[in-house]
Chain A
Amino acid sequence: MKALTALDPLLEHRIRLGTCVLLAKHGELSFARLKSQLHATDGNLGAQLRKLEERGYLLSTKDFVERKPTTWYRLSDEGLAALESHMTALRALIDATGVGAGEP
């Protein structure tokens, strides 16, 4: 199936995909916010974010919020394009399998 080959393997992990979707929606999120919203552990989230950063999908900056060191993440242009392409492939896959057919 063509849609399957169009999926981005890096975004097939639910935490990596969830991170990109949340960042596309909110612009910039802190590590702590991503962790609480994705119900992830520090170690797992850190590892997945590193993979996205290494591929150039994420950009990070560090600063202080009320004297606490905070790491902020946002999607790069490359990450946004990859997410859009992955979501298009997902939609095509779901349409092809008929999942959700009949729902409003």
Chain B
Amino acid sequence: MTDVNKLQSDLDYIRGAIGEDATAGGIPALYFLWAALIAVGFSLPDLAPRFAGAYWLFAGTGGGLFSWWLGARESRRHGYNNAQLGRRYGLHWCLVGAAFLLCFLPLVLGRVTPEMGGANFLLVTGIAYSLAGVHLERPLLWCGVPMLIAYGVLVVFMPPHIWTITGISVGAALCWAGFSRRAALNADHTP
């Protein structure tokens, strides 16, 4: 005979087990890596434009592959092997990569000024990180939102060195996410 109170207690236990989901949240090292890559890469068009293309070819591809490898390694090390989630990550960041490539189109065609083109990257980055925060890793939401605010500020005031400001805004937001994620992980491991 099944006891409804026992069932209720079992469901509470299972809810607790699922609530301790260690997969929520990302890897701080990756946040810091991309903060550095983006801050440098977005500053190049202002400071050394001829190196920007080559930098993104190697740093973008290498960073993406390294992120995939580190994510898979961390996941296995923590006892998770979620192929479906991996596909979602892959699809999200591939679409972001495609959106970045499309951002070059109005610049190449001369439809927007270089300043507006730079700001558009911040808009795409802000949306990409905010949506990653909604669907994949919560800390990314809180660095996507300041990027969107920074985009609004850039468009309204159009300051000089807009690419550098864009890169530093994204880098600072990612560092913030990295530090807050690391603090959360340390708090989880503190007895």
Contact = CB atoms under 8 A, between A and B. Distances in A.
A17 B80 contact: no
A4 B83 CA distance: 35
A10 B81 CA distance: 25
A21 B10 CA distance: 12
B2 A97 contact: no
Given A14-B10, A90-B7, A39 B77 contact: no
Interface string A21-41: 110011111111110111100
Interface string B22-38: 11000000000000000
B18 A28 contact: no
B interface secondary structure, majority = helix
Contact of A90 (B9, B11, B22, B80): B11
A38 B7 contact: no
B79 interface: yes
Contacts of B80: 26-30, 33
A65 B90 CA distance: 23
The contact size tier of chain A is 20 to 34
A22 to B, nearest CB: 7
Contacts of B18: 21-22, 25
A101 interface: no
Interface in A48-104: 65-66, 70, 72, 90, 93-94, 97, 99
B81 A7 contact: no
A99 B4 contact: yes
B137 to A, nearest CB: 15
Nearest to A12: B2
Size category, B interface: 20 to 34
Nearest to A7: B2
A92 to B, nearest CB: 12
Nearest to A32: B79
Interface in B89-148: none
Given A12-B2, A66-B77, A28 B82 contact: yes
Nearest to B81: A28
A29 B79 contact: yes
Pick the 3 closest A-B CB pairs, nearest first.
A33-B79, A30-B79, A28-B81
22 contacts: A14-B9, A14-B13, A17-B10, A17-B14, A18-B14, A25-B18, A26-B82, A26-B85, A27-B80, A27-B83, A29-B80, A29-B81, A30-B79, A32-B79, A33-B79, A33-B80, A65-B76, A65-B77, A66-B77, A72-B81, A93-B4, A97-B4
Interface of A: 4, 7, 12, 14, 17-18, 21-22, 25-34, 36-39, 65-66, 70, 72, 90, 93-94, 97, 99
